Chain A
Amino acid sequence: GQQVMQIPQYQHVQEGEDFTTYCNSSTTLSNIQWYKQRPGGHPVFLIQLVKSGEVKKQKRLTFQFGEAKKNSSLHITATQTTDVGTYFCAGVNNNDMRFGAGTRLTVKP
């Protein structure tokens, strides 16, 4: 079955620094979704990428989908304390959706 690897597992940054998390799939994906889960909270949908090479921006967040549709990244510019949480990618293929292990982001003020 498909596997979705996500790195790094943890990232601790100083407020104002940038942050990136990466997802890689063992198989070609039809689409990929990104979710954020605050500490003690539940996953909240951020975005879905469908097209090869797609890039989408949401304010300080930039999402990319690789040309081969096997990898994706989330980049946050100038992190803020409100960015704290775990970011999960979820790769979708053949009616199967698999979450990556998540990247836990902590931000030091």
Chain B
Amino acid sequence: DTEVTQTPKHLVMGMTNKKSLKCEQHMGHRAMYWYKQKAKKPPELMFVYSYEKLSINESVPSRFSPECPNSSLLNLHLHALQPEDSALYLCASSQEGGGGPGYYEQYFGPGTRLTVT
């Protein structure tokens, strides 16, 4: 199984709402990633988890809160977002070789398209 799943596929939320994005993989990967992608732009790395521990935070605002409950699951908790946070949020996973992002190929999920109103 080389699939990364993400839920929900679409999410519309107000600026005062709290919501969560979920990601799951069963490939035994020990590195998991959150990316943000705006239309016609490349993915921007937000967070990296390595062996369930946060290893990279790309100076992401605190209204985004990642969580890795176990080696297969990755969550992104959202609170008090701004309209400019509307984007496609991609989860990815890879083997973990200690070399950081890009050491191994990444498998991306289909993404959650988030709209903040």
Q: How far is the CA of A44 from the CA of B110 in the complex (A)?
A: 10
> Total A-B residue pairs with C-beta atoms closer than 8 Å?
52
Binds A, one of B14-22, B65-73, B77-85, B95-103: B95-103
- Chain B interface secondary structure, helix, strand, loop or mixed? loop
Residue of B nearest to A43 (CB): B108
- Which range contains the number of B residues in contact with the other chain? 20 to 34
- Rounded to whole Å, the gap between the CB of A77 and the closest CB of chain B is 23
B102 adjacent to A45 (CB under 8 Å):
no
Binding site for A on B (CB under 8 A): 40-45, 56, 90, 92, 99-103, 105-111
Known: A43-B43, A99-B42. Is A92-B102 also a contact (CB below 8 A)? Answer: yes
In the complex, chain B residues whose CB is within 8 Å of the CB of A69:
none
In the complex, chain B residues whose CB is within 8 Å of the CB of A43:
43, 90, 92, 106, 108
Binding site for B on A (CB under 8 A): 30-31, 33, 41-45, 48, 88, 90-92, 94-97, 99-102, 104
- Rounded to whole Å, the gap between the CB of A48 and the closest CB of chain B is 6
